[in-house]
């Protein structure tokens, strides 16, 4: 029994260990998936979304630079019979729009933008507008041709350089978006791979736990069967011991006490026949009757403990004899009471 309890405790410990390992695996995988989803969300927010907004502002800046280039071409082509100074308001509006676009672009620029790139773009724009202001100063002083020459020699080249710089930033944003998309794909693949690994590990844990449970149940049932057999053997031995004890007590009552009471009755009978005293004889006959009654009770008790018929005729005939006897004894006892 102690071994069965020890085996049950061992199986319980194994099952609890398997359950703990499974729970730890679930918690660890949940934490891992949560981290990956959080990183994916941060990646989409900090890179992909900012790249998109930054690209929109760069496109706006590029469109403004194209408008500036078209306006400078209009000044050089003399399509309209206006002096150069007449275009100052138009260029001022374009300057305001360009500065607003650059301010917005700096607010949403990606974190990988280097300070040198930002400084180059800002300084190039500042130099361009300083050159534009000098050009309008020349036009304001009546030097129209020198102002237009300034556009040809300096402003158009600076505007082209600014457009190229903005185009490079757009290309970098596109490359950054592609890298972000590749990172997103890698995260999905990694999570998918880990999901398969976790599924296999969980199935392995379930299989191992089931095998442990089946083995522990088989061992427990085997021990229970062994204990049942031992209890049956013990019960058989107890019955055999009880039968032998009852048989011994019955034989002793029948042989020893029965012979003693029989001899006592015979002696009392002889004494009563030889004694001429009537009063004493009456007492002796009463004692003989008591001895005979005791003898009958001893024989009845001996038969009740272990009937001789049980050994000679078997259980069935013994019951056929014993039950009516018990019934008559019970009826007689009830009548006496």
In the predicted model, is pLDDT for residue 60 greater than 80? yes
pLDDT band at 317, cuts 50/70/90? low
**Rounded-to-integer distance, Cα 60 and Cα 172, Å:** 16
Domain boundaries, the chain: 2-219, 244-336
Number of H helices, E strands in the chain: 10, 0
pTM of whole model > 0.75?
no
pLDDT band at 305, cuts 50/70/90? low
Sign of the torsion angle spanned by Cα atoms 301, 306, 310, 312: negative
Mean pLDDT lowest among 69-83, 129-143, 226-240, 268-282: 268-282
Mean pLDDT lowest among 30-39, 195-204, 280-289: 30-39
Mean pLDDT lowest among 25-34, 49-58, 281-290, 312-321: 312-321
More confident residue, 9 or 12: 12
pLDDT band at 66, cuts 50/70/90? very high
Mean pLDDT lowest among 18-32, 118-132, 230-244: 18-32
Quote the longest CA-to-CA distance of the chain. 190
pLDDT of 64:
92
Task: Give residue-wise pLDDT tens across range 172-182.
Answer: 878 877 777 77
| DSSP per-residue codes, 25-42 | HHHHHHHHHHHHHHHHHH
Taking CA atoms, 121 is separated from 65, 117, 128, 162, 169, in Å, by 13, 6, 11, 7, 10
Alpha carbon dihedral 188, 190, 196, 199, in 10-degree steps, equals -100
Average pLDDT for 62-79? 87
More confident residue, 265 or 14: 265
Most confident of 6-10, 195-199, 245-249: 195-199
pLDDT band at 93, cuts 50/70/90? very high
Write phi, then psi, for 311 (nearest 5 degrees). -80, -30
More confident residue, 306 or 290: 290
Residue 29 CA to its chain's centroid (Å): 10
Average pLDDT for 230-245? 81
In the predicted model, is pLDDT for residue 336 greater than 60? no
Burial 165-200 (b: 16+ CB within 10 A, else e): bbeebbebbeebbeebeebbeeeeeebeeeeeebee
Average pLDDT across the chain, whole number:
77
More confident residue, 83 or 110: 83
Of all residues in the chain, what percent carry a pLDDT higher than 70? 72
97, burial (CB in 10 Å: exposed 0-12, middle 13-18, buried 19+): middle
More confident residue, 276 or 310: 276
User: Is 265:288 a contact under the CB 8 Å cutoff?
Assistant: yes
pLDDT of 5:
47
Average pLDDT for 252-260? 70
- First-to-last C-alpha distance (Å) of the chain: 50
Q: In terms of C-beta distances under 8 Å and separation of at least 24 residues, what long-range contacts does 194-197 make, across chains too? A: 194/29, 194/32, 194/33
Residue 147 structure tokens: 């102002």
In the predicted model, is pLDDT for residue 29 greater than 80? no
More confident residue, 204 or 159: 159
pLDDT band at 332, cuts 50/70/90? low
């Amino acid at each position: 029994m102690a071994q069965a309890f020890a085996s049950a405790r061992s199986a319980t410990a194994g099952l609890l260990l398997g359950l703990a390992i499974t729970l730890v695996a679930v918690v660890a995988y949940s934490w891992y998936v949560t981290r990956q989803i959080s990183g994916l969300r941060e990646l989409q927010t900090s890179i992909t979304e900012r790249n998109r907004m930054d690209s929109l502002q760069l496109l706006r800046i590029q469109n403004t630079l194209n408008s500036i280039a078209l306006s400078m071409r209009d000044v050089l082509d003399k399509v309209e019979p206006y002096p150069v100074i007449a275009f100052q308001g138009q260029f001022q509006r374009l300057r305001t729009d360009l500065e607003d676009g650059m301010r917005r672009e700096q607010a949403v620029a990606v974190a990988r933008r280097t300070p040198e790139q930002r400084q180059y773009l800002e300084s190039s724009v500042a130099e361009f507008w300083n050159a534009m202001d000098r050009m309008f100063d020349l036009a304001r002083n009546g030097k129209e041709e020198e102002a237009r020459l300034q556009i040809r020699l300096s402003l158009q080249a600076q505007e082209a350089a600014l457009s190229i710089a903005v185009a490079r930033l757009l290309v970098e944003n596109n490359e950054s978006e592609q890298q972000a998309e590749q990172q997103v794909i890698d995260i999905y693949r990694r999570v998918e791979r880990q999901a398969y690994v976790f599924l296999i590990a969980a199935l392995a844990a379930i299989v191992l736990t089931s095998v442990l449970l089946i083995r522990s149940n088989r061992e427990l049932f085997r021990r229970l069967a062994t204990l049942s057999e031992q209890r049956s053997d013990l019960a058989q031995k107890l019955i055999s011991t009880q039968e032998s004890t009852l048989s011994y007590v019955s034989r002793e009552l029948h042989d020893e006490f029965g012979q003693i009471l029989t001899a006592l009755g015979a002696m009392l009978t002889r004494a009563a026949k030889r004694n001429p005293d009537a009063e004493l004889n009456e007492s002796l006959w009463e004692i003989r009757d008591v001895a005979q009654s005791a003898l009958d009770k001893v024989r009845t008790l001996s038969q009740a403990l272990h009937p001789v018929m049980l050994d000679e005729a078997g259980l069935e005939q013994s019951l056929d004899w014993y039950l009516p006897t018990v019934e008559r004894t019970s009826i007689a006892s009830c009548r006496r009471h």
